Amino acid sequence: MKELWRQSSFRWYWLGVFLSGLGNQFGWMALTWFVMNKTGSSAAMGGVVLAYNIPAVLVGLVAGVLLDRFDRRKLIMLDNVLRGLIFFALVVLLQMEGTPLWLVYVLIVIAGMLSPLSSAGAQTLLPRLVIDKSLLVKANGLMESQWQITYLFGPAVAGVLIAWIGAANVLVVDAISFFLCAFCFARLKPAAGSGSFAVGRMDEKEAEGVQGKAAESGGGTGVVAIGPFLRSLAADIRTGYRYLLGRRRLLWLVLFTFFFNMAYGPVEVGLPLYAKNDLDGGAVSLGLLWSAMAAGALLGSILFSAVTWKIPTGVTLAAIIGLWGITTLPLALFTRIDVAMLAMGLAGLSFSPYNILYRSHLQKHVPEELLGRVLTSVRTITGTGMPAGAAAAGWLIPVCGVQGLFGAASVVCAATGLLAFMALRRLDEPELLPVQQGGEEALHAVGQHRIEQ
């Protein structure tokens, strides 16, 4: 771990992501609180969340293409500067009388569309900062610990600040955090031997060819036609999916991650009802349960980062899936707050290494020139797991009750862990692939050479 902290670029990277993550916790709590007080509508508050997250998912694939075509560091800096300006504009708009809510939504949608440049971009950038690739797991462990810290303390600090200086000023703090993050990323330098932060750029002949075809399509006017650009964009997006579908073990990893995320959905939906109806503790019990889980996850990520893990990645990931089912089973069997807190703490402790190993595996095995597109393609699959699980939970709770749902989800998750063990136990071994031939079906993208298998 000391090797990572000795690298100045990693320190700037860690600080930039930390400031951005903490600012996001402040900003979202302040924004939803501000809109709620301004409109008095819970629907308007929910609309804020949807207006930010849905565009982020839809635009994620395009962001992946941009991250593979252009300098990732500069794209992250651009995103943070623009979102900082947007949040400053939101502060002004929300304090003006008669501001239409749709205008606030428009700004939030734009911010959501920009966000994948940083959320996916930070993950694609990390391998270029770590000199020793064997340290990627520890680097991702440190980043996971950081996320747990902001998740654990961010909302509480934000609540204090909102009561002390007001929601508008907390939004200003969030806007400033974006600019600070951009400054930190401006200080980054790639690790020795990693080149620049730009990957897969066009050489001069390729650029001339693309421009020539675009000019011909534009009738020789010299104006770049939109048609060739959209076709190249679609080809780049398909490249990420083709890479994923052509690798059986990687595809299994993504599918089991989807099911693992789906197993979290019942907890997200059922825990508030469990705290209110079964524990008779209301919001206080709910807060204790989430805090226990966050504390367990923080401890787990710190401990995991401090050791050298030698158990195969696939076996570990399968065990984590199974452990989630086992550790959440007490929620189905007991209605005591101490038992429930212990269960949530152990659940957080057990699942925290999953993201560390999962991200490290992708960063190690996906070619850097494809990393942006593959990660965003993967997110369109795994990112739907939790909403799907939450939707299923909403349908099942009236049928089997909250504790019945927890019990069923635990058993299914433990069984999924056993299936994952059989499918992922050889995940670390090289996978034999057919040689890609030239033509339309080969992995390719405008501005990049074909990947040799």
What percent of the chain has a predicted confidence (pLDDT) above 70? 83
Q: Among 146-150, 228-232, 243-247, which range has the highest average pLDDT?
A: 243-247
Could you report how far apart the first and last alpha carbons of the chain are, in Å? 33
pLDDT in tens, 271-304: 878 888 888 776 678 778 888 888 898 888 888 8
Those residues whose C-beta lies under 8 Å from the C-beta of residue 400, and which sit 6 or more positions away, are 408
Residue 110 pLDDT = 93
Does pLDDT of 236 surpass 70? yes
More confident position, 197 or 424: 424
CATH 1.20.1250.20 fits 2-186, yes or no: yes
Residue 209 pLDDT = 44
Q: Tell me whether the CATH fold assigned to 2-186 matches the one assigned to 247-424.
A: yes
- What is the reported pTM? 0.70
Q: How far apart are CA 406 and CA 332, in angstroms?
A: 5
More confident position, 161 or 251: 251
Q: Among 133-142, 179-188, 225-234, 369-378, which range has the highest average pLDDT?
A: 179-188
pLDDT in tens, 26-71: 887 788 777 777 776 656 766 776 778 778 877 887 888 888 888 8
Residue 444 pLDDT = 35
Residue 280 pLDDT = 77
Residue 191 pLDDT = 61
HSE toward the beta carbon, residue 68, CA cutoff 13 A: 29
Q: What CATH number has the domain spanning 247-424?
A: 1.20.1250.20
Residue 77 pLDDT = 93
pLDDT in tens, 57-114: 778 878 888 888 888 899 999 999 999 999 999 888 878 877 787 888 899 899 989 9
Q: What is the mean pLDDT of residues 215-230?
A: 54
Q: Minimum mean pLDDT among 32-46, 229-243, 282-296, 431-445: which range?
A: 431-445
Secondary structure, 3-state, the chain = CHHHHCCHHHHHHHHHHHHHHHHHHHHHHHHHHHHHHHHCCHHHHHHHHHHHHHHHHHHHHHHHHHHHHCCHHHHHHHHHHHHHHHHHHHHHHHHCCCCCHHHHHHHHHHHHHHCHHHHHHHHHHHHHCCCCHHHHHHHHHHHHHHHHHHHHHHHHHHHHHHHHHCHHHHHHHHHHHHHHHHHHHHCCCCCCCCCCCCCCCCCHHHHHHHHHHHHHHCCCCCCCCHHHHHHHHHHHHHHHHHHHHCCHHHHHHHHHHHHHHHHHHHHHHHHHHHHHHHCCCHHHHHHHHHHHHHHHHHHHHHHHHHCCCCCCHHHHHHHHHHHHHHHHCHHHHCCCHHHHHHHHHHHHHHHHHHHHHHHHHHHHHCCHHHHHHHHHHHHHHHCCHHHHHHHHHHHHHHHHHHHHHHHHHHHHHHHHHHHHHHHHCCCCCCCCCCCCCCCCCCCCECCECCCCC
Residue 320 pLDDT = 96
pLDDT in tens, 289-298: 888 888 898 8
Q: Minimum mean pLDDT among 294-298, 363-367, 439-443: which range?
A: 439-443
pLDDT in tens, 180-218: 999 999 988 876 555 556 655 444 444 344 344 444 444
Does pLDDT of 391 surpass 60? yes
Does pLDDT of 243 surpass 80? yes
What percent of the chain has a predicted confidence (pLDDT) above 90? 27
Q: What is the mean pLDDT of residues 446-451?
A: 34
**Average pLDDT across the chain, whole number:** 80
Q: What is the mean pLDDT of residues 314-342?
A: 95
Residue 160 pLDDT = 78
Give the pLDDT band of residue 124 (cuts 50, 70, 90).
confident
Extents of the domains making up the chain: 2-186, 247-424
Does pLDDT of 224 surpass 80? no
